[in-house]
A and B are shown apart, each in its own frame.
Chain A
């Protein structure tokens, strides 16, 4: 297992290297001069030329690539062209916001998605099954933009249950320590604000979790149906075991492998793909950070931002692969 992990980690190196290079070249292929965009429409030609030089953008691409690349090995992610701040300093709050939101979305998606899938498989062709699968189909095709605004309008404004936007109650916010607000509020001993933070997570969590929830539900259902037809399930039922335990203990464990794979992939997608949810809910996450960087051609931020998201993505996938063995003892890594 240990050797397997090491081998997998080393195989990541060429993947990440290739990705750094492709991203580097791709963002330079889009037209638009960062200096012009930073200085805005009002800037004079001379100012743009001066800033281009100062940012080193007049250098040939291989010089620029080398200075960025060698910096990475020293643990230097570069400096944002727009804010003039080291990326390693400014990226964490964004990442923390995204992690909190993604975890909330995944919690909602997994709990509801898996259970809906199980019950649908258990009572195949029942009204519950039909409804759940129609809802899942709607879920995967739901425009997040619309869903988010509808949630705000109905749940937050009409029913007055939950807040519309933001991560916390801005009128009485606590000072960030770790930038994970669930933890920060507890560290400040502010239970009221902790609950505020949870309330702020529910609507964006649902908006972001809808698509994964639908995918997970459908995957769980089909995987469960397959397992429930197998011999050992028939045996378990024949020996008089209660149906609930047959489903939740024997079937689920055997059906979980493809579901876990899907969950792993979805978490990865949420990290970078939360941009719509972040826009609607005023959520300062990593998607917004990279998106803004692309609009202003903030090359270092785009490069390092994507690098970090990709790195987390492959780590999660590795984790998923390792989880297989824990779920199903028949799988062994050599």
Chain B
């Protein structure tokens, strides 16, 4: 077997094992979007009337509307959490072990990214399954079509986390980054409200939302859930993935000095 594939398998497996060992993390990953879906959405459905917009063909409930956004939220939290573990790994030395493997650094980082994304996708499907139990569901083809959309969105958000983890020097600083990344990304997006609704309040906010890669990740997932294609969202997510990955590779460039040490 190629050493590339051997390493990929081991890194993904390690991520999976690590996740299995952290049951609280899985529980939190499930409870978080469910609270939004079952509590927040229930309260808001009355306040927000949603008219017909693609990909929906009829009036939809608010619960139905926010499911793709919550899928994105699961991916976003997962990506930030796994990059948090990267910062931790770097401080403890596990990252050093990984980076001294005789493989291109870009490949090793990509393996990490892939492992984290796979776990994020599992979480999303677990969430979708529970949402379906509460009657918020889609077609079988939608559940299949959403897989590549989740993969691409997960990779994009994971690459962002990877880039952040390389640029943030210490674990303590990372908590701040979470606040400055997760909340703005989530709220300044189409996850909770459609952009045209946002435009009614502020054109500026609407434009910020429209430029947010997370919006496009959510829209890609939203259309895919109904087995529909959103080329614009796809391009945006792909572009953001490329940009974040480039930033991450720059951040982890050995000539920049990854692990600042005192001795």
Q: Do A and B bind each other?
A: no
* Chain A interface residues (CB < 8 Å from chain B): none
* Chain B interface residues (CB < 8 Å from chain A): none
